């Protein structure tokens, strides 16, 4: 019995050396795809409206450094979800702070518009991308844009103007990325 453990102990340094080489080789191989992913991000973003915004968002995302085109679409729609959630939170703050009942009512209608976008439509769009149902996800981007517009139409001068304008830019980028995925 003692002899078996001695044999293992004599092979342990060799085993450790081999294991270290394996991890070193795989660690080094992960640095190569980053250039390819950067190229992929740039190639995809060049085919979108607001390519600089697209590139800025995707290059700042840690997930984009090791992903494919489907992952890039997911990152963009996740960014839309984050921005829509922030807009919903902003609307709720405005509702609680305003004393103007008519403005409060209009803002409440907008909140009711954003809640299903944040809670259901955008998460389903992300699921659609993960299931490679790009057409459904692309349709969601159009639907979300129309819902945002219906909120803005209530105001002669929307208190959400800059936020919704930015969301529309993100939706246009996401739709263009999804169109690229649909095209293959």
pLDDT tens-digit readout, 138-181: 999 999 999 999 999 999 888 999 999 999 999 999 999 999 99
- Please give the full DSSP string across 52-64, using - where no structure is assigned: HHHHHHHHT-GGG
- Give the model confidence (pLDDT) of 36-58 as tens digits: 656 889 999 999 999 999 999 99
pTM (2 d.p.):
0.78
Given a cut of 50, whether residue 105 has pLDDT beyond it is yes
Q: Which two tokens stand for residue 97?
A: 């702070």
Please calculate the CA angle 98-101-106 and round it to the nearest 5 degrees.
85
User: Which parts of 31-179 are beta strand (E)?
Assistant: none
Contacts of 148 (CB under 8 A, 6+ apart): 113, 117, 164, 167, 168, 171
Q: For residues 74 and 29, which has the higher predicted lDDT (pLDDT)?
A: 74
Domains of the chain with CATH codes: 33-183 (1.20.140.40)
């Amino acid at each position: 019995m003692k002899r078996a453990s001695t044999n293992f102990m004599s092979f342990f340094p060799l085993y450790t050396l081999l294991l270290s080489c394996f991890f070193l080789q795989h660690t080094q191989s992960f640095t190569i795809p980053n250039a390819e992913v950067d190229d992929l991000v740039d190639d995809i973003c060049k085919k979108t409206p607001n390519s600089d915004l697209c590139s800025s968002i995707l290059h700042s995302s840690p997930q984009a450094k090791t992903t494919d085109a489907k992952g890039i679409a997911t990152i963009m729609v996740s960014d839309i979800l984050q921005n829509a959630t922030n807009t919903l939170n902003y609307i709720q703050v405005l509702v609680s702070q305003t004393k103007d009942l008519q403005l409060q009512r209009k803002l409440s209608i907008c909140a009711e518009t954003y809640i299903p976008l944040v809670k259901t439509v955008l998460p389903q769009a992300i699921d659609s991308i993960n299931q490679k149902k790009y057409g459904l996800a692309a349709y969601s981007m159009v639907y979300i844009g129309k819902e945002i517009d219906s909120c803005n139409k209530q105001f002669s001068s929307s208190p959400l103007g800059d936020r919704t304008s930015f969301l529309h830019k993100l939706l246009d980028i996401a739709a263009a990325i999804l169109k690229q995925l649909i095209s293959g």
